[in-house]
Structure 1
Amino acid sequence: MLITFSGLHGTGKTTVAKLVAETFGLSHVSTGMIFREMATAKHMNLVEFSEYAAKHPEIDVQLDKKMRERGLKGDVVLDGQLCWHFLAKEADWRVLLVCDEATRIQRIMERDRQVKGPTVTLESARRETLEREQIELDRYKKIYGIDLSDADLVQKSHDIIVDTTHMTIPEVVDAIVSKIRAR
C-alpha cells in the first residue's frame, strides 16, 4: 500500500502520517524531516534554507526524486507538499489535511518551543511559517509549474480531505483509517 499525505505546515501531516503508517504496519518517510536535516547540515534555519533551495533547484529535485523512488517500493506512507503529484498514479490514497491559519501557527509555535524554548512567539512562528510557505509556493511553481495556491487543483488531486482545525490527532487518524478500510 502507498499513501501520501499533503497539507500546509501545522496541519498535522507528519504526526498523522506516522500514526496511519503504524496502524497499517507501513514505513513512514517525511519530506519535512529530510528538509530539516538538510537545513541543519548547512547550519541554516528553515527560512534560510528555503531561500537557499529557491536558488538551488537541484535540492528539491533530489528530495522529490528520493521520495518518488521510496514510494514506488510500496508499503509506505509519505508526507510532503508534493508527494501527491509525483505519485499521482501509483498512490492508493492521496490524503490532504487542511486547517485554519491561526490553529496551524499555534501548533507550530508549540512544536518549535519544545526545541528552541520560550523565545518562540506566536508572531515569530507566524512570520517564519508564512514566509517559508510563500518561498515554497514560488519554488514549486518555478520548478514544477504547480500552483499550490490553486485550492481547486489541490483538492481535486486528493482522495481524502480532512479539516484538522477542530479535531484531535486520534480523531483525524480514525477518520482516515475508517475511509481507507471502507474501500
Structure 2
Amino acid sequence: MRITVSGLPGSGTTSLSRYLAEQHGFTMISAGEVFRECAKEHHMELAEFGRLAETDPAYDKMIDARQKEIAEQKDNIIVEGRLSGWMVEKADLKIWLFASIGCRLERIVFRDQIADIKTAKAITLEREHCEAVRYRQYYNIDINDLSIYTIILNSERWGVRELGAIVDTAIGQLKASPPKAT
C-alpha cells in the first residue's frame, strides 16, 4: 500500500505520517525533512534556501525525483510532502491536511524555534509563495488544486490520534476491498 500525506507548512503532515508509519509498520519518507536538512547543510534558513531552489531547480527536482523513485519501488510506504500526492500517482490513498494560518504558525514557532509569530508568518508566507511558484514552473502543478486527494482532513480540529483513527479506518477499508477502477 502507498499513502501520501500532504499539506501546507505546519499542518501536521509529518506527525500524521509518523503515526501511520508506526501503527502500520510502513516506511516513511519526508520531503520536508530532506529539504530542511539541505538548508542546514548549506547554512541557510528555509526561506533563503527556498529562494536558492527558485534559482536552481536541481534542488527541488532531486528531492521530488528521489521521493517518487522510492515510492514506486516500495510497498507499505508513507510519502510525506507538499507534492507527494502529485508525484506518487499510483498511491492507494492521498491525504491533504488543512489548518488555519494561525494554527500553523503556532506550530511552526514551536517546531522551528522561531522567535515570534510575526517572524514565523513572514518566513512561512514567503516559503509558501516560493514553493507555489516553483511547483507551477517545474511541473505545472497548482498546489491549491485539491481534486487529486482521496481525503481532506482538518488538523486544527483533530489531533494526531483522531486523524490517525480516521485514516486507519480508510486503510482498513482499502485492505478489505480495494478501490474499483474508474
Q: TM-score, normalised by structure 2?
A: 0.91
Q: Is the 8 A contact 1:112 1:120 kept in 2?
A: no
Q: What's the counterpart of residue 179 of structure 2?
A: none
Match of residue 137, structure 1, among 129, 132, 154: 132
Moved more, 170-179 or 39-48: 170-179
CA distance in 2, matches of 1:103, 1:50: 22
Note the residue ranges of structure 1 that are not aligned, 5 or more in a row.
Answer: 114-118
Q: What's the counterpart of residue 180 of structure 2?
A: none
Corresponding letter in the other structure for 1:93? L
Note the residue ranges of structure 2 that are not aligned, 5 or more in a row.
Answer: 175-182
CA distance in 2, matches of 1:25, 1:159: 21
> What is the Cα-based RMSD across aligned positions, in Å?
1.1
Q: Which digits, 9 at most, give the CA deviation of each residue in 1:49-97, with x for residues without a partner?
A: 0000000001111111100011012221010111111112x11111111
Q: What's the counterpart of residue 53 of structure 1?
A: 53
Corresponding letter in the other structure for 1:72? E
Q: Is the 8 A contact 2:19 2:160 kept in 1?
A: no
Q: What's the counterpart of residue 108 of structure 2?
A: 108
Q: Is the 8 A contact 1:5 1:13 kept in 2?
A: yes
* Count of aligned pairs: 173
Matches within 5 A, 1:168-183: 168-183=159-174
Q: Which digits, 9 at most, give the CA deviation of each residue in 1:96-134, with x for residues without a partner?
A: 111111111111111122xxxxx6101111111111100
Equivalent residue of 2:11, what SS? coil
Q: What's the counterpart of residue 82 of structure 2?
A: 81
Structure 2 residue 152 is matched with structure 1 residue 161: yes
Q: List 4+ stretches of structure 1 deviating above 4 A.
A: none
CA distance in 2, matches of 1:25, 1:75: 8
Shift of 1:178: 1.4
Q: What's the counterpart of residue 177 of structure 2?
A: none
Shift of 1:182: 2.4
Q: What's the counterpart of residue 120 of structure 2?
A: 125
